[in-house]
Structure 1
């Protein structure tokens, strides 16, 4: 059974999640489905259950845009010595907006169809062939705040057209969620020196009422690669500035947004695949995945590379970037002229 699973998961990298529906999922006791921005009917969990014929434990947890929380659930609650399959998708075709409300048109331009399948194992025997080990997960949910709760909503416009509306406060909300998240994550990953600097500024502000700027720890001292949810250029620009990241650090996220668009939770795996295709992943490296979702949620996962990924050994079907990785990165201007000659206006 193990050999068939590994062989099928390798195929899944080539054909995304579809090949898993009929073969490997029949051997998996736990299946975790992560749907798109807005869940479809029937939901992905229903389709997966039908695909496996009700086999295994038959449970599926659907959480839009929050795959990292699902990974944590899979690790905490599944039985010992077993597997869990996480299927992460985005299918914006279900929620294409046909109206003229500008805040609701943004999703039509950002989101794209994408998917990824990740096989998790808590079997000790799988460590020698696993690529990564999940070290930390931190989930932040700010739904109790009205501004956070209402910044991303599905609603009808004045003409009755249904779409997803993104409010102007989205960037502020995302920043607050990230701040709360890294406050919890920091003590888990940062060296003592950075923690002491951060604590010193807190004491100065809270105890001595000093007018000092809050100290933002240097996460590059503890983490080697950054896979930030490719939600949009504005989000990436703000995080690059806030976390003091370099263009090299932001390259996987920016190229994923450029090439594949916003594919919700699956974008994190396109970004990790980019790092692998570029030959960046070395044994012992730590990867920080940061995801955002409506609600508003911010989730972090830290993975440790258990082996070096040889980019030269990756076949075109093993990684979605292999056919064009040598041409990347490219410069993406903020404003680009539209070539009107490439469009034909219908009579």
Structure 2
């Protein structure tokens, strides 16, 4: 049995309390200022005009004093407004919807597996067991080159898949937002396993004839959490470039990364990963505030690469026969749990209400001083967020996070249904989940969304969004023609 994700109720670091109380102490002056301002206001209301005039005359202020005071006030206000971080808005986003001709049914997948590994019945049986328990449905899609018998994972087909997915997302984004290609200021694209030359961002710039002074970035090798890394990069760039926008593209090109060997640890990605892509328009322009869907509140990134076991838990390598594939270590879930624990330790003080932090602190103090066997208080993240988008990396990932964060079935519904309908689409899966919530009519103005993603390295990244306006249905996108069918019942095992 693979090690399970650690139970957070049995392992909570003192660092959480320290960060929580640092946050409260940092805002202590604000809480202290409120009663002082109220007292001054009451005193001012009770003071007559004659008393105010008498106080003014007693100060003996000259014109120089008044001018210097006004200059100081104006300078302070200017510095305050100029130093404030720029608000980053998510104007809209577009998702790739594969055509039905690329659908991979269970029967079709297993037939291909038997033809590819006809001398390895145990490997075929292993893939069947994985597929039965994967949580995937019959509508997931793979690129054309993988439908060939045998598969044809060459560079030309990989570029065709990249153009098909990325250009479809970009065309849809331009249509939804009214943005023109020459209006794009910043372009960021993340694709972990396919990094050709010229780069994929260069491919996009060439296709849409974008400006020569566009700022473009191509991220590779950063795993399924690279989408939130791209968001963080865009946020930082938008802080330094006023009145600008950024287009973020998240995808994974599967054609060159299909594994043709027989190693079980490397066959698992074949069963889970499917086609997908997303294009997101971010902006720091005040003019986009009213039409934007969301406002970015926080991005928290956790990297455990300093630990050798974490660094090697997901790796691209060759098997003994020379076949290249992605190897998943048996300790993956335990490592993911440690990364998540570090991530929520950091994000907790930023989002949890003071009541939760105080209860947790009292619980920890009681365990440290009075009785170490007392059950610790686990902060309720449901008080901080209305919606959760957990990376649809696999059924086990969703199950363990639901248990660890004590989430309800409805709160993980978007993740389960995205896995069922589209499979693991890597870094774009979070956006399919967000679209599911919108398509169900559940996203209201003021709602907070927590996106959680994991990636090789090992990384756990979070993004917190606040809904800027109520999202009305029906919503255009990949769920438009099937949202009424969901949620569907997903059995523990689908017998093939």
User: Could you tell me the TM-score, scaled by structure 1's length?
Assistant: 0.88
In the alignment of these two chains, the number of paired residues is 326
Q: Classify the secondary structure of the residue corresponding to 2:219.
A: coil
Pairs within 5 Å for 1:26-45? 26-36=182-192, 38-42=193-197, 43-45=199-201
Alpha carbons 1:86, 1:118 under 8 Å: kept? yes
Runs of 4+ in 1 over 4 A off after TM superposition: 8-14, 18-23, 204-209
Q: Partner residue of 1:276? A: 438
Aligned with 1:184 (options 341, 346, 350): 346
Distance 1:186 1:11, change over 3 A: closer
Is structure 2 residue 215 aligned with structure 1 residue 58? yes
Q: Partner residue of 1:17? A: 170
Q: Partner residue of 1:158? A: 320
Aligned with 2:228 (options 59, 68, 73): 68
Distance in 1 (CA, whole Å) between partners of 2:174 and 2:284 is 22
Alpha carbons 2:95, 2:432 under 8 Å: kept? no
Pairs within 5 Å for 1:93-108? 93-108=255-270
Distance in 1 (CA, whole Å) between partners of 2:409 and 2:390 is 13
Distance 1:57 1:206, change over 3 A: farther
Unmatched tracts of structure 1, length 5 or more? 1-7, 339-347
Distance 1:274 1:16, change over 3 A: same
Distance in 1 (CA, whole Å) between partners of 2:235 and 2:286 is 13
Distance in 2 (CA, whole Å) between partners of 1:135 and 1:81 is 19
Alpha carbons 1:236, 1:254 under 8 Å: kept? yes
Q: Classify the secondary structure of the residue corresponding to 2:403.
A: helix
Q: Partner residue of 1:334? A: 492
Distance in 2 (CA, whole Å) between partners of 1:252 and 1:122 is 28
Unmatched tracts of structure 2, length 5 or more? 1-90, 98-167
Q: Which has the higher contact order (CA 8 A, sep 6+)?
A: 2
Q: Kindly state the Cα deviation for residue 200 of structure 1 after the two structures are TM-superposed.
A: 2.7
C-alpha RMSD over aligned residues: 2.3
Distance in 2 (CA, whole Å) between partners of 1:9 and 1:177 is 30
Q: Classify the secondary structure of the residue corresponding to 1:182.
A: helix
Worse-matched range after superposition: 69-78 or 172-181: 69-78
Worse-matched range after superposition: 246-255 or 195-204: 195-204
Distance in 2 (CA, whole Å) between partners of 1:9 and 1:225 is 18
Q: Partner residue of 2:358? A: 196
Distance 1:102 1:196, change over 3 A: same
Distance in 2 (CA, whole Å) between partners of 1:19 and 1:287 is 24
Pairs within 5 Å for 1:103-182? 103-182=265-344
